[in-house]
Structure formats: C-alpha cells, structure tokens
Amino acid sequence: MSLKIKDFWELENKRFSSKPTKLSKHDRYVLELSDKIKHKYDSVSVNVPIRHLKRSLGEIDIIAKKGNRLDLYEVKCSYRILKARKQLRRMKKYLKLPNARSYFYCGSSKMLVTV
C-alpha cells in the first residue's frame, strides 16, 4: 500500500506539531455564528482587530459584507447586551460607520438581536 506525498506530509506535520489548542467557549460561539450567517454575505471576517497607530482600540467579533453594506456582530457567552451595545457603538464611531447595522449574539441561548 503506497502513501501519497500529501498524506505523508500531513502525517509528519501532525507528529511534529504541538498539541492542538482547544478553542475557548467564546471562539466556538463566534465560529458557530459565522457558519450560520456566511451564506447571506459576500465575505465574513472573524476577530478583526481595530488599531490606531500603535494602540489597540478593540476587536470586532464578526464583520460581514454584502455589496457595499457592512454588518457588525458582537458575540457574548451570556446575555450581556448592554456591554455589547456599548462596544458596537464605540467600534462604529472609531470606524466612522454610522449606517452599519449591528447585532448581538448570545451564545448560551443562541439568540441574535439587532442592536
């Protein structure tokens, strides 16, 4: 039985690579939501850092684009809509996107809310 070169390299990389890191609960919820919404958009970006010069201003969990319209998603493990609303408003202000739609996703209850 012969082993293809591609299969060989995959086996070698698995053997020498470090342990696969386990995703956090938040990261699992972000991936779950991105899988649910990706068919509605032209592109979906996950965990997008926002920087100004050398300073980090925060991170947007999901930015989705359809045509020239942007949607921002904030994911929380529990229902903390006030914090999500505050973060989304701040990101819209920093990015100068007053017309972008913003959404809150609660991972534990699988609820998507327009903010």
pTM to 2 decimal places? 0.79
* DSSP 3-state of 3: coil
CA distance 97 to 71: 10
CATH number of 27-114: 3.40.1350.10
12-28 per-position pLDDT tens digit: 455 445 556 788 999 99
Token pair recorded at residue 102: 């913003």
35-80 per-position pLDDT tens digit: 999 999 999 999 999 888 888 888 999 999 999 999 999 999 999 9
Scanning the chain, the segments in alpha helix (DSSP H) are 5-16, 25-37, 81-95
- Looking at residue 105, its amino acid is Y
- Domain residue spans of the chain: 27-114
